């Protein structure tokens, strides 16, 4: 990656996400100002929970066109172009590749629920090294005095949260001319950026997942079969909500269960430190690519969401990072060392193994 300027790529990814998000916000605003309906622009992909809109497709086109103009040699994997094609294998190789979700949380966007976003990730050697997630509706849908939030990261440059006002002024994505009053550990990439996590990383509780905030998604596979992935997800969520000692000792009794409807924002809230555990099966690489680097740079980890074969055969094996194409992801928040001497990474891995004990095995597959 010596020839890649990650700071430049970071700013470019952020700009793409914000410009596409500004377009999506404008589309949402039109619905609030003229009685314009959205029904005619909605299409169902696999079922009634799996939607695509004209806004998704146009936002992806905006991003793809900008990448091809600026980086014509880079590859692009986008959700809508992938979904529309016949090739369903994992297409990522070692070449520099942009992985984009033009609208993560389409159902939320359709309902004007604010947890939707644009996710732009950049990979080299199959590893996410730059990511930008922009949520354009978190500040409301007012014509004036509204803002969105950018979450972004680059390998070795930290993870950051940046408020973005409308209309978007690209100059805010330049480094500040004077250092911030607060002594940040890494250089501030953009005006008004603050590092993630928001608070100094806290130790993982010794009895975790008790006391944790747990986040998971229902997913788009909605079969009512007793052996379906949805049934296994529901059983797993029930398990984490159960009283400790219940259900043959597997109950986790977390503080609460949350579901935002956007895997990209799920990952972001792990990076902020607000969410302790994000457990997921069934989403795709464009849902988590940008979020993975944001979590990693904040000090969190992203690993498989169920025990991998290597650890089933040898429990002492190191915990591997999640395979970006696996559709199985578990993110654990940034952590601090504990007073009793447990190192942060050891505590994160302890929590991973406790999660693995309590989840049902999901069966998400894709062509090889």
**Residue 173 pLDDT:** 96
| More confident: 37 or 163 | 163
> Please, which pLDDT band fits residue 31 given cuts at 50, 70 and 90?
confident
- The DSSP-derived string for 120-146 is EEEEETTEEEEEEEEETTTT-S-SSS-
The 3-state DSSP class for residue 165 equals: strand
Indicate if the alpha-carbon torsion angle 347, 348, 349, 355 is positive or negative: positive
Q: What is the pLDDT of residues 260-288, one digit of tens each?
A: 999 999 999 999 999 999 999 999 999 99
Q: What is the pLDDT of residues 173-185, one digit of tens each?
A: 999 888 777 788 8
**Residue 368 pLDDT:** 56
Q: What is the pLDDT of residues 100-137, one digit of tens each?
A: 999 999 889 988 999 999 999 999 999 999 999 999 99
| More confident: 265 or 53 | 265
Count the neighbouring beta carbons within 10 Å of the beta carbon of residue 323: 15
Angle, helix 54-70 to helix 6-34, in steps of 10 degrees: 150
Question: Which residue is it, tokens 């986040």?
Answer: 215
Question: pTM value?
Answer: 0.92
> Please, which pLDDT band fits residue 40 given cuts at 50, 70 and 90?
very low
Radius of gyration for the chain, computed over Cα atoms and rounded to the nearest angstrom: 20
Q: What does DSSP assign to residue 295?
A: H
Residues 40 and 45: their CA atoms lie apart, in Å, by: 15
Averaged confidence pLDDT in the chain: 89
Peptide bond into 87 cis (omega under 30): no
Q: What does DSSP assign to residue 345?
A: H
pLDDT at 50 over 50: no
Residues 219 and 305: their CA atoms lie apart, in Å, by: 14
User: In this predicted structure, which of 51-65, 127-141, 252-266, 324-338 has the lowest mean pLDDT?
Assistant: 51-65
User: In this predicted structure, which of 66-75, 136-145, 304-313, 334-343 has the lowest mean pLDDT?
Assistant: 136-145
> Please, which pLDDT band fits residue 44 given cuts at 50, 70 and 90?
very low
CA 318 to chain centre: 24
CA distances from 286 to 282, 313, 346, 356 (A): 12, 30, 29, 24
Residues 224 and 256: their CA atoms lie apart, in Å, by: 25
CB-based burial label for 265 (10 Å; 0-12, 13-18, 19+): buried
**Residue 247 pLDDT:** 65
């Amino acid at each position: 990656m010596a020839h890649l300027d990650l700071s430049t790529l970071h700013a470019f990814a952020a700009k793409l996400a914000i410009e596409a998000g500004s377009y999506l916000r404008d589309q949402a605003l039109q619905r609030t100002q003229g009685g314009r309906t959205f029904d005619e622009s909605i299409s169902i992909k696999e079922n009634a929970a799996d939607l695509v809109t004209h806004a998704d497709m146009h936002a992806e086109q905006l991003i793809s066109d900008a990448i091809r103009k600026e980086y014509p040699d880079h590859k692009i994997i986008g959700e809508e172009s992938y979904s529309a094609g016949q090739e369903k294998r994992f297409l990522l190789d070692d070449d520099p590749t942009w992985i984009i979700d033009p609208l993560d949380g389409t159902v939320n966007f359709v309902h004007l629920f604010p947890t939707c976003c644009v996710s732009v990730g950049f990979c080299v050697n199959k590893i996410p090294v730059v990511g930008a997630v922009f949520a354009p509706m978190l500040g409301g849908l007012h014509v004036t005095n509204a803002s969105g939030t950018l979450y972004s990261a680059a390998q070795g440059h930290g993870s950051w949260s940046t408020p973005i006002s409308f209309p978007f002024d690209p100059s805010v994505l330049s480094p500040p001319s004077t250092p911030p009053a607060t002594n940040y550990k890494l250089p501030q990439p953009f005006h008004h950026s603050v590092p993630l996590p928001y608070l100094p990383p806290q130790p993982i509780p010794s009895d975790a997942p008790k006391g944790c905030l747990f986040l998971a998604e229902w997913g788009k596979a909605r079969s009512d079969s007793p052996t379906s992935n949805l049934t296994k997800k529901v059983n797993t969520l029930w398990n984490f909500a159960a009283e400790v000692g219940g259900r043959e000792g597997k109950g986790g009794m977390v503080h609460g269960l949350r579901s935002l409807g956007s895997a990209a924002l799920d990952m972001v809230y792990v990076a902020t430190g607000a969410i302790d555990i994000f457990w997921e099966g069934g989403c795709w690489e464009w849902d988590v690519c940008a979020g993975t680097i944001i979590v990693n740079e904040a000090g969190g980890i992203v690993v498989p969401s169920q025990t991998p074969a290597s650890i089933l055969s040898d429990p002492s094996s190191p915990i591997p990072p999640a395979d970006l194409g696996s559709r199985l992801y578990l993110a654990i928040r940034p952590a601090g060392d504990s007073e009793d001497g447990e190192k942060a990474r050891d505590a994160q891995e302890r929590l991973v193994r406790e999660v693995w004990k309590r989840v049902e095995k999901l069966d998400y597959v894709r062509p090889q």
